Amino acid sequence: MCASMPVRSFTRPFPCRSASCLAFPPHQFALKQDMYQWQHAVKSVKRAPSLFGSGKGVMILTDEVIFFGDQIILFGLKILCRSTDAIKAMETHRCQTADMGLSERQFKELRELVYHECGINLHNGKRQLLQARLSKRLRRTGIKSVQEYLDVLEKDQEELIHFLDAVSTNHTLFFRESQHFQVLHSSHRNIWCAACSSGEEPYSVAIDCLEKGFRPSILATDISTNVLDMARRGVYPREKTRMMPTHLLRKYFQKGQGQWEDFIRVKAGVRKMVTFGRFNLVSGPLPSRKFDVIFCRNVLIYFDSRVKERVINRLYGLLKGNGYLIIGGAESLSSLRHRFQYMKPSIYRKRGTSGIFH
């Protein structure tokens, strides 16, 4: 592998904290949502020269990135170099790993575990998804069977968190469903993005508030530690901003240069407005303060009615007297028992109070 290289990609270059021999900085790999943190990923690098008859050294970093000599492939993000041999090596590596026979009993046990821990309902139609995510965890941990992994989940809280990270779905864009931001007002000093994913939502909220002339305190939480790590860094593929007005992109983001030309970074002034933390909507200890606005968008669709009611009523108690709950455009509270007052599609207000909605 090549020697470490200094990286100067943005106006303020990223520090390359790793002493490893990889030419690309750790932030490159953090951009793939379901990847390990860099320091964890470096530990999982394996040398597998036996995969090639030529005897050339092959380095595999998790199941998403392959190094073959000086060629690098990032699966699912951006292909930097192509190597047929490297792709074949990865497929061989996958085929030689854990036994993925998932019995009906094991599927039921995992489904009940996920439902109990975070309220996500994995019906039979999600079995293939669960098997794919489970396979990824078996490969990364080196565990050889589903039953052995189930035993680990009972004892290892850290691995349980990684498993829940793998199962949860995280997809969002900057200024997605931005019509919801019309409710934001200068009197709103405390805002909570309760299912923030990789950070695009809270940063979008922060930018909208700045454009309206005020700077609230924003709490942003998610059940996935992986996406929270990405959110704190504030580095994203440029395509994530395709719904954002150009003048805001120029004002609040730094543009990548060189190998980073397809990426942007949220400026420090915006990042400082947001505090990130892990939170379980279903059972986590509630925040100690109350909020003017709570965003809980595009997450209720993964819950059944019982869990939805539990979540929205927990959120109700955390709103101030004139507080607003914002849910996703494809979501509704119409069939649920709750105390919210309907205002507009996706926008609800704490009942029995005077609001500022226009």
> Distance between CA atoms of 281 and 311, rounded to whole angstroms?
6
Catalytic residue status for 222: yes
Which amino acid is residue 223, in one-letter code?
I
Which of 133, 137, 140, 176 is flagged as catalytic?
A: 133
C-alpha–C-alpha distance, residues 194 and 163, integer Å: 20
Separation between Cα atoms, residue 269 and residue 207, nearest integer Å = 10
Q: Which one, of 144, 174, 137, lies nearest residue 158 by Cα?
A: 137
Spatial distance between the Cα atoms of 143 and 347, rounded to a whole number of angstroms: 45
Taking the C-alpha atoms of residue 333 and residue 353, their distance in angstroms, rounded to an integer, is 19
Comparing C-alpha atoms, which of 274, 155, 146, 256 is closest to residue 220? 274
CA 288 to chain centre: 24
Phi, psi of 106, rounded to the nearest 5 degrees:
-65, -40
Q: In the block, which residue shows the tokens 């750790």?
A: 26
Active site residue 133: yes
Q: Compute the distance between CA of residue 101 and CA of residue 116 in angstroms, rounded to an integer.
A: 23
Catalytic residue from among 222, 229, 265, 349:
222
> Could you tell me which of 287, 349, 280 has the C-alpha nearest to residue 321?
349
Report the alpha-carbon distance of residue 90 to residue 326 in Å, rounded: 43
> What whole-number distance in Å separates Cα of residue 258 and Cα of residue 9?
6
Taking Cα atoms as reference points, which of 297, 268, 286, 262 lies closest to residue 206? 268
* 306 burial via Cβ count (<10 Å: 0-12, 13-18, 19+): exposed
Judged by DSSP in three states, 192 sits in strand
Catalytic residues: 133, 222
